[in-house]
């Protein structure tokens, strides 16, 4: 196994803190190394140093002779001219473009491409060249599931070395054989994929807690020793007294982020009717119909994922259902109790020249109020970040700000369009935990298979012709079919099977929704000191428990 790049004790200093400290990493052919860490820890900096685009402040980077390195950045750079000129010709190039949904764009100028189109063209260009090392920074952003499956195949069949930063846990677990974790400047190297990384993190956390308990026990012993009277203390060795004070003043290492991301919000109760679409279609002015004849009825607590190829109309569908665009034919109706919030792709529709606190206050509020400061801290915006203009935030920080602004509206219906783009894994996991307990209705467009699996229980597919249909078997069946492990359904179920299957799915959905509500109410009752509020919550909990018992009885009857 040939060594391609060797990082020896490298360090890199940021403007106000060390970014990387004493990193050593050997990259050999056959390696596929995933790099993870919270936003701002230095993942992109490490990739740029490996690629040779940046030099470390200390340490050495040794490279094999005649080494060819390809680097895909988060925002790819393409040569000017047409897509064809950037990629060249040949059946292999055309096959790749076809798989990535870009064959019809070969005559477009690269400057006119959208972010997603640029990413796909840059990937095609990267893997069409003879390279020894491929470096990928968030390569799955803006890719649909078919394109991600293509990318997985390219990575696993690549004979050199691959180093990638990604928040796609499914991808990481499929392709990596080593993981690099960056935590407060320190780098941890793990053999194995993402699952092994999680195991190692749990082991390290347990060791830290054990070491802190030992320190506290020793500190109590030393404190008792120091308190044995002034006279006795005067005869004690000064060295031990100094050591005791150092032990007492020691503290465990500060967390990478202060506190946990607190997404909890009060959610107005939904009525039985939430969203109903009947033969709804939408076409942009003067253009073709993007989504057509949508028939969909959603109730309280429904969790729906939306998938489909790039350009099929997933974002248009979610805008149509959210009333951001008006149906050109048919109807889309919201129930009278719906309070909706939208989490869009990109930077959303807020003014990038305003500060975080100005955006949180809104046009009618006073920036920097005590309530707003508390809210900003809950979403990890501290100190100077609160007065930072939105355009100066990192991609992950902007996405977190979007989430803050959406949840500040206290919605009971959430429309999420690619919510995991630019978020780090810790934030994604916390968002998943929040959504698993949130009692409202959720519609989410995402390419993140793990996120869809953990947050949705129904999957819709937008087909290239604009039709929208349920995916039998949900996200797991979709993944299996995309990987060629399962065939698409040969035919629709018979007339007797369809109603039974639908009733069973509805019963499971009701149980999931009611269990989430039960957990939320139980937590609120335990946290409240107000007798009247406890009584009100207790009455609602009794109603939820009755409904849950009915749903469970129905489910058991259907299963039998």
pLDDT, averaged per 10 consecutive residues of the chain (560 residues), comes to: 90 81 91 87 90 93 92 88 87 84 86 83 89 93 83 91 91 89 82 79 70 66 60 55 60 53 70 90 88 91 88 89 93 93 75 87 84 82 86 79 83 89 80 82 89 87 90 76 54 45 64 72 75 79 80 71
Structure tokens at 79: 């040569």
Q: For the chain, how far is it from start to end, CA to CA, in angstroms?
A: 57
Sequence-distant (6+) residues with CB within 8 A of 250 are 215, 219
> Distance (Å, rounded) from C-alpha 142 to C-alpha 386?
29
Spatial strand order in the sheet of 161-165: 69-72, 133-137, 161-165, 32-36, 178-183, 186-191
The candidate with the shortest Cα–Cα distance to 28, out of 49, 46, 44, 7, is 7
d(CA 50, CA 56): 10
**Strands (DSSP E) along 388-439, which ranges?**
413-417
What is the C-alpha separation between 541 and 372, in angstroms, rounded? 31
Return d(Cα 57, Cα 84) in angstroms, integer.
40
Three-state SS at 23: strand
Q: Are 125 and 83 in contact (CB under 8 A)?
A: no
The conformation of residue 237, written as its DSSP 8-state character, comes to -
Exposure string for 279-290, b = 16+ CB within 10 A, e = fewer: ebbbbeeeeebb
φ, ψ at 326 (rounded to 5°) = -100, 135
Instruction: Report the alpha-carbon distance of residue 85 to residue 105 in Å, rounded.
Output: 12
Among 406, 442, 143, 486, which residue's Cα sits nearest to residue 306? 442
161-165 and 32-36 beta bridge pairing: parallel
**How many angstroms separate the Cα of 277 from the Cα of each of 287, 318, 445?**
22, 12, 18
Q: Tell me, what's the pLDDT at 244? A: 60
Structure tokens at 133: 């090392």
If 0-12 CB within 10 Å is exposed, 13-18 middle and 19+ buried, where does residue 451 land? buried
Look at residue 313 and give its three-state secondary structure. coil
> By CB neighbour count within 10 A (0-12 exposed, 13-18 middle, 19+ buried), where does 234 fall?
exposed
Q: Which residues contact 19 (CB under 8 A, 6 or more apart)?
A: 12, 13, 41, 42, 45, 185
How far, CA to CA in Å, does 79 sit from each of 84, 92, 98, 524, 532? 11, 20, 21, 56, 67
Burial 35-50 (b: 16+ CB within 10 A, else e): bbbbbbbbbbbbbbbb
CA 390 – CA 350 distance, rounded (Å)? 9
pLDDT at site 235 = 53
Write the secondary structure of 102-163 as one string of H (helix), E (strand) and C (coil): CHHHCCCEHHHCCHHHHHHHHHHHHHCCCCCEEEEECCCCCCCHHHHHHHHHHHHHCCCEEE
pLDDT tens digit sequence for 207-260: 666 766 666 666 666 666 556 654 454 555 666 556 665 655 665 555 555 555
pLDDT for res 427 = 81
SS (H, E, C) 257-281: CCCCCCCCCCCCCCCCCCEEEEEEE
DSSP symbols for 391-405: GGS-HHHHHHHHHHH
Q: Single out the residue of 438, 417, 443 nearest to residue 269, CA to CA.
A: 438
Count CA atoms within 13 Å of residue 529 on its CB side. Answer: 0
Closest CA to 420 of 311, 343, 312: 343
pLDDT at res. 451: 87
β-strands 3-13, 58-63: how paired? antiparallel
Residue 365 CA to residue 485 CA, distance in Å, equals 54
- pLDDT, one tens digit per residue, over 365-382 is 888 888 888 888 877 788
Distances (CA, A) of 56 to 11, 12, 38, 155: 6, 5, 21, 27
Q: Which two tokens stand for residue 390?
A: 């939105």
Q: What's residue 186's pLDDT?
A: 79
Q: Residue 551: what pLDDT?
A: 76
Contact indicator for 439, 302 with CB cutoff of 8 Å: no
d(C-alpha 120, C-alpha 124), whole Å = 6
Q: Which residues contact 319 (CB under 8 A, 6 or more apart)?
A: 325
Write down the pTM of the prediction: 0.70
Contact 265, 410 (CB under 8 A): yes
């Amino acid at each position: 196994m040939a060594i391609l790049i060797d990082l020896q004790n490298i360090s890199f200093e940021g403007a106000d803190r060390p970014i990387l400290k004493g990193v050593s990493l050997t990259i050999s052919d056959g390696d596929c190394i995933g790099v993870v860490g919270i936003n701002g820890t230095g993942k992109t900096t490490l990739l740029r140093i490996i690629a040779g685009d940046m030099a470390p402040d200390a340490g050495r980077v040794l490279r094999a002779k005649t080494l060819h390195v390809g680097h895909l950045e988060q925002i790819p750079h393409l040569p000017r001219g047409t897509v064809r000129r950037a990629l060249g010709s040949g059946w292999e190039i055309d096959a790749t473009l076809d798989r990535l949904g870009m064959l019809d764009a070969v005559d477009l100028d690269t400057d006119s491409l959208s972010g997603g189109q640029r990413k796909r063209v840059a990937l095609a260009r990267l893997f069409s060249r003879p390279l020894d090392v491929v470096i990928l920074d968030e390569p799955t952003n803006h890719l649909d599931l078919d394109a991600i499956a293509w990318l997985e195949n390219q990575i696993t069949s690549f004979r050199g070395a691959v180093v990638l930063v990604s928040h796609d846990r499914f991808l990481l677990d499929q392709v990596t054989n080593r993981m690099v974790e960056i935590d407060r400047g320190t780098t941890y190297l793990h053999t194995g994929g993402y699952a092994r990384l999680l195991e190692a993190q749990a082991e390290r956390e347990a060791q830290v807690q054990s070491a802190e308990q030992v320190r506290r026990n020793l500190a109590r012993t030393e404190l008792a020793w120091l308190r044995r009277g002034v006279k006795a203390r005067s005869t004690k060795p000064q060295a031990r007294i100094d050591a005791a004070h150092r032990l007492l003043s020691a503290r465990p290492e500060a967390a990478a982020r202060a506190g946990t991301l607190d997404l909890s919000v009060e959610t107005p109760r939904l009525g039985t009717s939430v969203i109903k679409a009947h033969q709804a279609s939408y076409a942009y002015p003067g253009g073709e119909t993007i989504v057509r004849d949508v028939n969909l009825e959603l109730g309280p607590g429904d969790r729906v994922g939306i998938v489909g190829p790039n350009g099929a109309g997933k974002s248009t569908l979610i805008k149509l259902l959210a009333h951001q665009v008006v149906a050109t034919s048919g109807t889309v109706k919201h129930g009278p109790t719906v309070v909706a919030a939208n989490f869009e792709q990109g930077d959303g529709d807020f003014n990038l020249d305003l500060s975080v606190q100005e955006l949180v206050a809104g046009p009618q509020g006073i920036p920097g109020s005590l309530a707003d400061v508390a809210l900003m801290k809950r979403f990890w915006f501290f100190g100077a970040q609160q007065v930072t203009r939105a355009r100066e935030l990192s991609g992950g920080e902007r996405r977190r700000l979007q989430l803050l602004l959406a949840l500040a509206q206290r919605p009971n219906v959430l429309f999420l369009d690619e919510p995991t783009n630019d978020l780090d894994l810790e934030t994604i996991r916390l968002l998943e935990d929040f959504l698993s307990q949130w009692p409202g209705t959720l519609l989410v467009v995402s390419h993140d298979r793990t996120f869809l699996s953990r947050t949705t229980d129904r999957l819709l597919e937008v087909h290239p012709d604009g039709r929208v249909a349920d995916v039998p078997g949900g996200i797991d069946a979709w993944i299996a079919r995309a990987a060629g492990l399962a065939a698409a359904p040969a035919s629709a179920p018979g007339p007797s099977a369809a109603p039974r299957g639908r009733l069973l799915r509805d019963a499971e959905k009701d149980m999931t929704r009611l269990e989430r509500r039960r957990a939320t109410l139980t937590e609120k009752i335990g946290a409240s000191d107000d007798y009247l509020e406890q009584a009100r919550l207790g009455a609602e909990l009794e109603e939820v428990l009755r409904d849950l018992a009915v749903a469970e009885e129905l489910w058991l009857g259907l299963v039998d």
